[in-house]
Structure formats: C-alpha cells, structure tokens
A and B are shown apart, each in its own frame.
Chain A
C-alpha cells in the first residue's frame, strides 16, 4: 500500500467537512465540520512528514491541534452568548445586521 493513500482520505474528509459547513445550519454542527476539516489537514501533515522522513510535519500538526483547541473554546463561547440572547443556535436566526 502506498502511504499517499492517506492523502486521499484526507482530501475526502476535508471535502465532506466543507459540505457540512455550507449545508448545515446548526452552529454547533458547523463547528464540528470545521474540526473535521482541521483533522483532515492534520492527517495530510502527518502523512507528508512520513513520506519526507522528517518530523516538521508532525510539529505543524501539533500546532494545528493547539490552534483548533483555542478556536473551539472561543467559538463555543460565542455560540453560548448568541444562544443566551436569541434562544437559538441556528445560524439563520442571527441575521440582525441584514435588516
């Protein structure tokens, strides 16, 4: 088996995550799809690190995990704040700036 096969899975997961971000309307599910995309990128990093035989890709994947954790913390805090004022976690309901 070719290690590049992992890149196909990575590409598939990234695409599925992108569909989810566009199609779903629950803010929490959208966030989960973003996490899926970040994970897919991490898989690509790890695979490239292995193909090239140095660990720089793994270090970058590690940094991605830290940044993703930050993003989740702040994003979920924003969702909770929006939910508290609007009683809804749907991204379609937060459209006050449109009107």
Chain B
C-alpha cells in the first residue's frame, strides 16, 4: 500500500546517475552557501546550485527553461549580485555571532521540522494518475509548445509580467538615483571662498610635497623656510593611513659657510 502511492513512473538509468551525482552536490553547495562566512563564496556556491538546477531542467525535458536558467540566473542575476558585492565591499564578512540569543538552534529545529514535514508529505502523496512524461507535449519542440501556451492561455499574465519588469527597472533607477542635498559648488564659488576666507595662505593653492635629493615622492612633507615640515603639503588621506614619512632624514646638514 505504502509503496504503491507514488508509483508514478520510472526513468532511464543515465538520469538516475546524473541525479545521484548532481543532487547531493547541489544540496551540499546550498548548505555551504548558508554556512560560509564570506558573501563572495556564498555567491559562487549559489551559482553552482543554479547550474545544477539548469542541468536538472534539461534532464527533465525543459530545455528552454534550462537555457534560460543559465542565461538569467547564473548570468544576469549572479552578475548583479557580484556587482553589488564589489560595490559594498568584498571584505565585509559578517561576524557569525548571533545577536538574538537562541535564534540559530530555534531556526535549525524549525527548519528540520519543516523539511521533514515536506519530505514525508511528498513521500506519502498520491497524485491520482500515472506518470505521463513530456514526450507528447514536446512533440513539436519545447520552445514552440511553450510559446503556444505563453501567447494564448497565459497572454494576460505575460502582459502583466512585462509591466512588472518595466516598473521594477524604473523603481531601481529611482532608488539608485542620488539626490544632492546642497548644490555642487562651482569653480567661481570655490575661488570666492579661497579669497574671502580667514587667511590668504591658501589662496594660491596648497604647497606641493617635499622633493629631496634622496627621496622624491608625495609621502614626505615639504620644508618651510624655518626648517619645519609643512603639514599642508601632505594629502589628508596619506596622513590618515599613516603613510607619511618624516622629512628630517632628507634635510641638508647645516653647511658651514663663511662670509667674506
């Protein structure tokens, strides 16, 4: 009785081999995706899962969907993910300590319960008919058959989805648009600000960094006439990084000059 309920058909052995090789790999990759620390590694594992699913689609006579899966998911969507990862910072690996206490055990127990329920349901489900297969439905070609359905029975859904796509593109543009809070200062504004400031010291521009016989680079401050290093000649970024070299070793030693 229990063994009859899902008697919905048998497929050939090559597919079984494919299934038993790719299936566990896909599940392992998905598990790894949740576990690994760095977001980039998650993205690569997810791309692997998606490619495995594309192969599964093709094995199940859904050739068009298999190709679309590769083009749309592993191509466009994962590219977008990686692009945003690069934008946000690849090195930003999150700390894996839990902020809500006990969240992880609860989540795992709930997921085990949910997954167990789903799998036992599938195991006990009866579909009320025998396995049909897509040989008849795909007789005139998978793409042709899909197009026939898409532009007849599902044409309304197709139109709505196209509207959704345009709306999403528009929404993304609006969200990504950066509003300036204050107007960008023009060159004239900057010149005025230089000359009307508290001092005229910066009116002619900032001094350049030091150029010495032994060292010629932007990381050494120039020397003022009195021998002290000019702090304004060094970029603030270099100072913040701590990449500034002391200028003292490059100074000329005092020359004994004789007045005649």
Q: In the bound complex, what is the Cα–Cα distance between A33 and B77 (angstroms)?
A: 13
Interface pair A33/B34, CB less than 8 Å apart: yes
B156 CB to closest chain A CB (Å) equals 11
Q: Residue-by-residue, is B140-182 near A (CB-CB < 8 Å gives 1, otherwise 0)?
A: 0010011001100110010001001101110110011010000
Interface pair B77/A72, CB less than 8 Å apart: yes
With A16-B34, A24-B34, A76-B81: A50-B60 Cβ-Cβ less than 8 Å: yes
Interface pair B165/A69, CB less than 8 Å apart: yes
Interface pair A74/B81, CB less than 8 Å apart: no
Interface pair A17/B30, CB less than 8 Å apart: yes
Chain B residues bordering chain A, tally (CB within 8 A): 85
A80 CB to closest chain B CB (Å) equals 6
- B157: chain A residues at CB < 8 Å are 63
With A14-B118, A74-B172: A53-B88 Cβ-Cβ less than 8 Å: no
Interface pair B133/A67, CB less than 8 Å apart: no
Residue B136 CB within 8 A of the other chain: yes
Q: In the bound complex, what is the Cα–Cα distance between A23 and B99 (angstroms)?
A: 10
Interface pair A36/B65, CB less than 8 Å apart: no
Interface pair A9/B23, CB less than 8 Å apart: yes
With A24-B94, A65-B72, A70-B164: A51-B9 Cβ-Cβ less than 8 Å: yes
A contacts, CB < 8 Å to B: 1-9, 11-20, 22-26, 28-29, 31-33, 35-36, 39, 42-43, 46-47, 49-56, 58-59, 61-63, 65-74, 76-81, 83-84, 88-90, 92
